[in-house]
Amino acid sequence: MKAWSCLVLGVFLCLPLAAQQPTFTETVVVTASGEEENLESVAAAVTVFDEGEISRSLETSLAALLRRSSGVTLLRSGLDGGVTSLFSRGTNSTHTLVLFEGIRLNDPYFGGYDWSLPLTAGVGKLELVRGPYSALYGADALGGVVQLFAPQRSGTSWQILGETGSGGWSRYQGGVSVGSQSWDLSVQAVERQGTGELVNDDFWGKALTFSAGFRPRDGARVGVLVRASRSRTEIPFSGAQATPHRFTAAEETLVGLPWRFRLGPSLQLEGHLARVEGNLTFRDPDDPWGYTAADTDKESWQGRLALRGQLGPHRWQLGGEWRQDEVTAGSSFGPALTDRKQTVRSLFLQDRWSLGRGGEVTAGLRWDRAGAWEELSPRVTWSLPWASGRVWVAAGKGFRAPSLGELYYPYSGNPTLQPERSESVELGVTQMLGNVMLQLVPFANRITNLVDFDYTTWRFANIAESRQKGVELSLERRLQHRLLRLSGTYLEAEDQDGLRLLRRPQWSGSFTLGENFAWGQGEVSLVYVGRRPDLDPVSFARVQQGGFFTANLAAQLPLTELSALTVRVENLADRSYQEVRGYPAPGRRVFVGLALGRQ
């Protein structure tokens, strides 16, 4: 099988190319600075997955795409519906902020975000910015920010995809997008399901995204954004014990009203009002300890207002945010939280000062306050461009606010908890080599006040600390017909006692090559995750988990002007491995589908 993998990769690399573009294809980034700028001009560690790459990959889960970026590790518990955690620069899985069009998705109950939930359908672009960005976005942005964007297209396009494959897999996906200079409308829907090899090992998930916008004049847009997802995952075992009826189910619904108006040649006002609600259900009628049911209802109201402008050499923005989180949770043992609320108020300011030949300084400061705590988060970046590249130095602080579960959960909750805090510094170099972008970013983090369970008091407390340092390397080539991405990360992540942090590999990397040919589209993606410490799910002892290497293929072969055959292969070499200790990953899987549509 190794020979077959090398042969397939060789075919992709050696096929003739179309005429190459003379320069690197422009890709717009918003998340790094809060305003649009070209990818090659950004003084930050950024990875962008655009609509073309998302479509060509044929992936269903956004987590599969994020694996291709440097600086992050994603680990999944078993099959596609299993809990999936993201670790950015070795920070905790609760230390990455997740946004959809600026709307926060992180869990207010115990923090973090389960990356098994978001599917690729209804996402037109994904931006990942690594490093602390609490100065611009507030809580949870210690390790980085992931922002999703809905498709916004002009003209008319539609797509329908039906797919079947190994393990009882099926996927049905469809969408339509229409638009002009004055309005846009997009509706995307998907449903997927599969079956594992064990008893009670099935999963299904579905999502719907609706996005519409009206542009009353140049530089203005008033929109409506709705995204709803539902999923159910069966759990076949817990440790060494079979659980034939255990399952979890999750629901998430986002409704947002984003808008922006240009008030003058260099002045723009933008903001949004949004509501995010979710529900998590757990059932296990056979649990020997009586923990047979648990339900959690979450709700978050959010508002943001920002004013951006330019005055001489200064490009500035200032604004404020308001958010109210509410959680109700209970189980077969009784209520845990009942309508517990936390309100956060924020103000932020950022200035980008052009120094001419001296480069540019970006300085930001944000104030957040909720209940018993308040936080000031600064970040400063100095960058110096030259004819074919850019160098920058950045330092900043980030924080994660205590979650409602950590504050108020019965017996273990601690209302006096303070935010977790980080200090970070990085040095970045971007070099353009024709239409190839090469980036090298060494970084170092120190996180204090980490919330952990204190066995002396049997409550959560700010008692832990961790340090992360490493180097990110990425090479990217973007043309209209080809995408080449190579990434690698070296990471040292330890706690205050010098122990390596769980599930953080020292070495990781990926290689992606996507191509538009005369006969269709094709892509090969290779991912490597090195050895890392983990916990044995039976003995709870620290163990060394072996690394893994996977190869995935995807191809779309046109049959007619409006139809194409799709083929995907996951784990091409049929390797046996575990991403999370005790949860075997699927072997080789083959998926075949029929796509209809017009772009």
Query: How high is the pLDDT of residue 56?
Result: 92
For residues 321 and 306, the answer to whether their CB atoms sit within 8 Å is no
Q: Quick check: is 260 in a domain?
A: yes
For residue 216, the 8-state DSSP code is S
Q: Quick check: is 393 in a domain?
A: yes
pLDDT of residue 6 exceeding 90: no
Q: Quick check: is 61 in a domain?
A: yes
Q: What is the rounded CA–CA span in Å between residue 5 and residue 7?
A: 5
Tokens of 29: 């980034």
Neighbouring residues of 309: CB distance < 8 A, sequence distance ≥ 6: 264, 266, 267, 268, 315, 316, 317
Three-state SS at 478: strand
Percent helix, strand, coil in the chain, to 5, is: 5, 60, 30
Segment 204-209 shows an average pLDDT of 96
Q: Quick check: is 166 in a domain?
A: yes
Give the CA angle between residues 386, 390, 392 to the nearest 5°: 130
pLDDT tens-digit map of 391-432: 999 999 999 999 999 999 999 999 999 999 999 999 999 999
More confident residue, 239 or 95: 95
Q: 507 has which bridge partners?
A: 490
pLDDT tens-digit map of 149-188: 998 877 899 999 999 999 999 999 999 999 998 999 999 9
User: Residue 457 maps to which CATH number?
Assistant: 2.40.170.20
pLDDT tens-digit map of 71-91: 999 999 989 999 999 999 999
Q: 349 has which bridge partners?
A: 318, 365
Q: Can you say how many angstroms the Cα of residue 238 is from the centroid of all Cα atoms in its chain?
A: 27
Query: How high is the pLDDT of residue 154?
Result: 79
pLDDT of residue 22 exceeding 60: no
Q: Quick check: is 13 in a domain?
A: no
pLDDT of residue 15 exceeding 70: no
Segment 456-462 shows an average pLDDT of 93
Segment 22-45 shows an average pLDDT of 80
pLDDT of residue 332 exceeding 90: yes
- Alpha helices (runs of H) in 116-198, residue ranges in sequence order: 134-137
pLDDT of residue 8 exceeding 50: no
Tell the residue number behind the tokens 């290689």, with chain if given. 511
Query: How high is the pLDDT of residue 26?
Result: 64
Query: How high is the pLDDT of residue 150?
Result: 93
pLDDT tens-digit map of 423-434: 999 999 999 998
Segment 567-596 shows an average pLDDT of 96
For residues 256 and 272, the answer to whether their CB atoms sit within 8 Å is yes
The sign of the CA dihedral 538, 539, 540, 542 is: negative
Q: Quick check: is 2 in a domain?
A: no
- DSSP E strands in 332-435: the ranges are 334-354, 360-370, 373-386, 389-400, 420-433
pLDDT of residue 58 exceeding 70: yes
Number of structural domains found in the chain: 1
Quick one: what percent of the chain has pLDDT higher than 90?
85
Band the pLDDT of 317: cuts 50, 70, 90: very high
Band the pLDDT of 599: cuts 50, 70, 90: confident
Query: How high is the pLDDT of residue 271?
Result: 97
Mean pLDDT of the chain: 92
Tokens of 297: 């209802």
pLDDT of residue 23 exceeding 50: no
Q: Quick check: is 412 in a domain?
A: yes
pTM: 0.93
pLDDT tens-digit map of 519-550: 889 999 999 999 999 999 999 999 999 999 99
Which helix (H) or strand (E) segment is 2 a member of? helix 2-14
Residue 489 identity: T
For residues 146 and 126, the answer to whether their CB atoms sit within 8 Å is yes
pLDDT of residue 47 exceeding 90: yes
Neighbouring residues of 51: CB distance < 8 A, sequence distance ≥ 6: 124, 125, 151
Domain that holds residue 123: 29-598
Query: How high is the pLDDT of residue 371?
Result: 77
Tell the residue number behind the tokens 């109210």, with chain if given. 324
Band the pLDDT of 7: cuts 50, 70, 90: very low
pLDDT of residue 460 exceeding 90: yes
Tell the residue number behind the tokens 């949860």, with chain if given. 583
pLDDT tens-digit map of 291-313: 999 999 999 999 999 999 999 99
For residues 215 and 190, the answer to whether their CB atoms sit within 8 Å is no
Query: How high is the pLDDT of residue 455?
Result: 87
Query: How high is the pLDDT of residue 495?
Result: 95
Query: How high is the pLDDT of residue 478?
Result: 85
pLDDT of residue 13 exceeding 50: no
Q: Quick check: is 380 in a domain?
A: yes
Neighbouring residues of 201: CB distance < 8 A, sequence distance ≥ 6: 78, 79, 195, 234, 236
